Amino acid sequence: MQVFIISIEDEESPRLNKFLAQPFFQNKKLPFNKIGIKGGELSAKVYFEQAVKGRNKPLTPAELGCSLSHLEALKSFLATNDNYALIFEDDAIIPSDLSIDTLEKELKKIKLPQNTLFSLGGIQMKESRKVRGALKERKFFKKAILEVHPHFYNRVNYAVAYIVDREMAQTLVEYHQRHRKADDWSYLFDFNDQSHILMTFLIDHPEITAGEINTQLSSIEAERSKYEDLPQSQYGNSLGYNLAKLRYKTYPL
């Protein structure tokens, strides 16, 4: 399994060092790749072409940089022969007893379907509490797994920690030909109806409120909004959505 850390912090950063001090990374044999593209340092031409041109509401430099960083991780993963990639953002809070070996063993037990994005954290956050789907029979480290129904893909937020297989990595690279926020998967099922989003609460994330100014937390949390110029999903509204709200369950915390 390839491991990637999305971070724009330099090597001496207190934030990055705090993140890497977690037991998960104390095994020196664990290789990882750190990727961080600073949107504010992109040329005006690149920023305009990728984040502004043809949009009613541009991506901010922070949003574009974050999306490009995740895409670079996915492309780097596809250049390897590994079957899965684990992608962290540098504010992920990892259980002290979790290791890459135990993670891989547990992953084999649940037999993920092909073309899956398996979110390990975020379902517990306020922005994602309205996500609904079907609870899987098998658990992951004794944690429930929710397979999200397409009507609720637009409720899925946070890319703090997730696993993708090769099929999903390729799907996401193609999905982001016109860049969206890194955690905007609202149109994913429309784009590829073989896609799966599964969610569990294994990895935690600091609570954030709108207007947060603590630079140790996410810098783009308060920038969430829909972009009407991007293709919009047929899911997430209409009668079908209302029926899905009655049929499908939220994640049990």
pLDDT tens string 29-46: 789 999 999 999 999 999
Residue with tokens 């079907």: 134
pLDDT tens string 121-136: 999 998 899 999 999 9
Residue 88 bridge partners (DSSP) = 5, 161
Cβ pair 121, 160 in contact under 8 A:
yes
The percent of residues above 90 in pLDDT, for the chain, comes to 79
* pLDDT confidence tier of residue 215, bands split at 50, 70 and 90: very low
pLDDT tens string 168-186: 999 999 999 999 999 999 9
Kindly report the number of other CB atoms within 10 A of residue 110's CB atom: 17
What's the rounded Cα separation, in Å, for the pair 126 and 124? 7
pTM over 0.85: yes
Q: Order of strands across the sheet with 33-35?
A: 33-35, 2-6, 84-89, 161-165, 116-119, 196-199, 146-148, 133-135
- What average pLDDT does the segment 67-87 reach? 98
